[in-house]
Chain A
């Protein structure tokens, strides 16, 4: 396609604009990482710098000694919760989708309509009741209430159902039945591997959103040994860090580091996955 002169100028403008937006995405994180390596005195001199300095080790030892923010406890608890929620969410959502696609049962349509209906329930309307209920059964200060609810994830069931409808032929199920495989085995050994691509996409999003969850863990957990990363981060607002500028930025950097690693290694799949999610409606 031949371009007119104005179109060439427009192209240049658009490209420059996109570069600006890209800088806007990176800059806050860049300043954060740089400041994590600068001393409080340097930051007091000028808090904006793009060049790393040499106080990383000092900031690190201050952070570990201050006592409130502990990145490793945060990593451990967030990892337990996120991995647990992802594994349970993927397995049981696939199982529910399998039940919806393969079997003809009386309430199948009603159950699917129900799943669509509850997809839109805002999580926070259940918070007070959820908290009181967990308190009653002494489940507060326990990571399980952050993991188990993912067994019922309507949005993921919806997605898995769409995927199965498009990719599963009932012949596979029927021929496995002729070989006398039990229904449960058919699901575990044939269907689950078949759903790998869908599971991979959804797993990333469940993992990340569980990792990032702040409100529910904040409400349930009061034992510092159980704090997940987002709660750890909120501790950086504590007065003991008031003038420890470098330490705050180091803590922030450590809190987002795993997400950066996950994002930049899997960005291709994540971007494709977001696009898939949008088509579902």
Chain B
């Protein structure tokens, strides 16, 4: 890459510099700062001076033994699972229908636009909207259920632990299934069409083609949505906070709400909040690592298999030419 004796390499550094500086200032330094705070005695509004504790892991010990933190972590995982399972199932079914040649759903473009729409709308607004719709005794959902004679008197959904959790999970599901579907469809469209033709020639039914050809080929993409949804889900904040304020009886108190309330409400235990966010970071990292490990193994196997096949084909060719 040398031209007229000019060394262009320096521009590589120069043009990467803004990114690196911004990363150092706004991401790396805050991370290190958070780690320091998690080992310290920092608490109180507007406080900035702190010293490292004599027993630096005290905050971690405290958080790991804190019942509300355990409840919050449990809620986070529970609500994520309650939203992800129906979300991936519906997305897969819709993907099957939208990419099938037998069913070729009419008006697909419009459906995609509508299914994806909630994802682009401010989560804070959606949480407030559902809060208003489910409010008691005057709310659209209560009115509708009474008009349909399903309920005789209004129900206070937000006083019921499971109802509130389910609604939060439903909102997450409703906001994200369209996204997951679009990702899966694009994955299916990327599959080599010869595979589908081969399945057709072998007389596979539409369902069989989906199960034996489509699904194995989008497995990586399913895992990708699993990881991204998990990382996002473990940080769930806007919906449970604004819809239910973490209640009733802490039923929708998520890990992020825990961190937020520790740091920015009441006595402002910034040190404990920092420790809790480190624990969440490690928790998310371990979960992602497990999923990535599964993913990598499969990839390598695939490459090995392909190599074997290529070798075989090559030897066969050689055999033929002889």
- Chain A residues touching B, range: 35 or more
Contact B221 A281 (CB under 8 A): yes
Interface residues of A in 5-26 (CB under 8 A from B): 7, 10-11, 14-15, 18, 21-22, 24-26
- Chain B residues touching A, range: 35 or more
A150 to B, closest residue via Cβ:
B22
Interface residues of B in 28-48 (CB under 8 A from A): 29-37, 42, 46, 48
B interface: dominant SS:
helix
Contact B37 A25 (CB under 8 A): no
Shortest Cβ distance from residue B63 to the other chain A in the assembled complex, whole angstroms? 13
Contact A105 B13 (CB under 8 A): yes
Residue in contact with A245 in the complex, picked from B36, B138, B284, CB distance below 8 Å:
B138
Chain B 1-37 interface 0/1 with A at a Cβ cutoff of 8 Å (1 = within): 1010000111111111011111101110111111111
Contact A271 B116 (CB under 8 A): yes
Q: Jot down 8 A-B pairs with beta carbons below 8 A, ordered by A.
A: A47-B133, A96-B16, A102-B11, A135-B46, A151-B21, A177-B3, A183-B8, A271-B109
Docked pose: A48 CA to B143 CA in angstroms = 6
Contacts of A7 on B, CB cut-off 8 Å? 102-103
Chain A 109-149 interface 0/1 with B at a Cβ cutoff of 8 Å (1 = within): 00100000010111111111111110110000000010011
Contacts of A221 on B, CB cut-off 8 Å? none
Contact B46 A129 (CB under 8 A): no
Of the stretches B81-89, B180-188, B311-319, the one at the interface is B180-188
Contact A151 B114 (CB under 8 A): no
Interface residues of B in 270-286 (CB under 8 A from A): 270, 273-274, 277-278, 280-281, 284
**Knowing A212-B123, A252-B128, A278-B183 touch, does A96 contact B18 (C-beta < 8 A)?**
yes
A271 to B, closest residue via Cβ:
B112
Taking the complex as formed, is B75 at the interface, i.e. its CB lies under 8 A from any CB of chain A?
A: no
Shortest Cβ distance from residue A239 to the other chain B in the assembled complex, whole angstroms? 13
Contact B264 A219 (CB under 8 A): yes
Contact B101 A281 (CB under 8 A): no
Which residues of A are in contact with B by a Cβ distance under 8 Å? Answer: 1, 3, 7, 10-11, 14-15, 18, 21-22, 24-26, 28-29, 31-32, 35, 43-44, 46-48, 92-93, 95-96, 98-100, 102-108, 111, 118, 120-133, 135-136, 145, 148-149, 151-152, 157, 174, 177, 183, 187, 208, 211-212, 214-215, 219, 229-231, 233-234, 236-237, 245, 248-249, 252, 255-256, 259-260, 262-264, 267, 270-271, 274-279, 281
